[in-house]
Structure 1
Amino acid sequence: MTTATTYDVLSAAVGDYFRAERQEMLAILSGAGAMTLAAVGLYVAMRDGFARGFAGATLLAAVLLTATAVLLLHRDPRLRADVEAGVRAAHAPAAHAAVAAEAARVAEVIRKYPYYRYGALALAAAALAAAALTRRAWVHGAAAGVLLLVAAQLAIDHYSERRASRYAAQLNAGRQASP
């Protein structure tokens, strides 16, 4: 592969990755909105302990998901521009360094996914234990809200890790093909 072709492929990989990240963040914002509507709707309809616990946990989860998505939507355009500028650098060593730095960043992101899963599963275990150990309706509602967050987190991380792994493979292939 020629140097120009290698950098074109890398530039396309960068664009694809960050476009998919943006789409995921928009989906997360939509999901957080749906969670909020469900929580508020249940509370308005029922106004009982379960609905209060569910609304509290679900609204907190929606705030956390929204904050994360908004921060990434704010950060990613600049990061993407920096990576793309590095890949397009006329000076081959500068382009190689930019790709190496991005590959290292993504490798660190991938390395953390098991810990995110462990955290989500620990939250699920705590929610299930709380629901099993009490008859209080608000605790059961809060547990259901936490389990909704866990389900969302597992789904988000599944697709995010898969996308990051594919991107890392493309970056590493480009690094090996570049002069």
Structure 2
Amino acid sequence: MDLLLSEEMLLLALDGDKGGTTWLSGWTALTGGVLVDAIAAGAVTVQDETLRPGRESGHPLLERVREAVAAEPEPRTMGDWVQRLPVVLHPLVEAVAARLVADGVLGEEHTTILGLIPTTRFPEVDPTAERVLRGRLRSILVEGVEPTPHDLLLIALVEPAGLLATATGDEERAVRRAARRRAA
């Protein structure tokens, strides 16, 4: 299965056992990942620093982005969409996780915190996709394998989100430091 950048970012951010995350600083990066996915698929285009609707992508998440861009009376900038898209796709994490849930990579559990606040968790059902992703990132960041353009975009989005240190799945500080240097 070919994953979107945003889906890969979510897999890196989730705690596979609990299905939740403490990745509070990365939601803007996740939104950026969705926008980059939509641009890469041609679902939206950039013209004069604003986003415009593009062609149908066939991916439900990217179609929602295209439809949101098309519904705006005036074109908005990429910065505007980074702020607006989480509202349009609300709940953002569930929107990104939908295909992973449908394909059996993640499960979906609806619970409440203290019996009051509804929350959704996405525990890992099939660890294969995440294992392959972490192995690919490790080969690039630690072993020096040449990255694909997709991998370069992923690394560029993951690093500012604070996920690079855990992207390789390695607990050794020296390995994580080497991965950060290679990513830079």
The TM-score range, normalised by the shorter chain, is under 0.3
Higher helix share: 1
- Structure possessing the higher radius of gyration over alpha carbons: 1
Whichever structure has more strand as a proportion of its residues is 2
TM-score by length of 2: 0.27
Q: Which has the higher contact order (CA 8 A, sep 6+)?
A: 1
TM normalised by structure 1 equals 0.27
